Amino acid sequence: MADFDPKRIRKTILDMAYSGKTVHIGCAFSIVELLAVMYRSHLRFPENNPRHERRDYMVLSKGHGVMAQYACLGEKGWLSDDALHNYFKNGSALKGLADTHIPGVEVTSGSLGHGLSVGAGLALAAKLSKTDQKCFAIVGDGEINEGPIWEAALFATHFKLDNLIVVVDANGFQAMGTTDEVMALGNIESKFAAFGFDAVTIDGHDEAAIDQTLRKLSDDRNGRPKALIANTVKGKGVSFMEHDNIWHYTRLNETTYADAIAELGVAA
């Protein structure tokens, strides 16, 4: 069984980004531990089938972080090494943004702000079907500038979607600057609480805290949707990428790739 080691996941992301000559490394790195814990311990896929009708849902609303999800799908055995190696190349099915053509990817989310609405709909469908399915939806902190996020939040509270767990990747940056520069967010936990969510803030790289918090939130079927605000570091895991928003759009070259791989210390 895959152990979803964060260092190995980050190495896969680097390999994909270098091979595909593409971007969005920093925003993939910030959600690695969140996804690792979800896939390791919380997401249920009967018969290991990503299309099973009773599966739990992992909605990556911040679709530009999809390399991290692809790496996890590789760990699950749903994407081959060859598919990952050919990421973003001509003929590849793996695009630079989340796309539902890939088994295990629940929402096409290149346009930010819409994934949570899909997640809320999936959670409602599970409620109406009287299943115990859960929906985890990862949104970016910059993404919650978008109005549809809060429409979805109102919807989730109105329909008592306690099987919906919103995870906010609060890394403090978005494409064009810090979240404070672009549109100050204030206290995100308080905002979700004001919308009727059970909300909590944790270190988004502490795997034990992530596991414990997700377990508590997802087990508490009290009629209230859940929000986990994960304080994360954009570029986490490679020192020269951490807190440096240039790695939202910068491509790796031979030197930076080698330096990043060396820092991770993961064997090929």
What does pTM read for this prediction?
A: 0.97
Name the token pair of 210: 């992530």
**Do residues 109 and 61 touch, judged by C-beta distance below 8 A?**
yes
208 alpha carbon, distance to own chain's centre: 17
- pLDDT bucket at 58, cuts 50 / 70 / 90: very high
State the average pLDDT over residues 1-29: 95
In this model, does residue 1 exceed pLDDT 70?
no
Q: In whole angstroms, give the CA distance from residue 216 to residue 147.
A: 28
* SS3 of residue 229 by DSSP: strand
Residue 56 pLDDT grade (very low, low, confident, very high; cuts 50, 70, 90) = very high
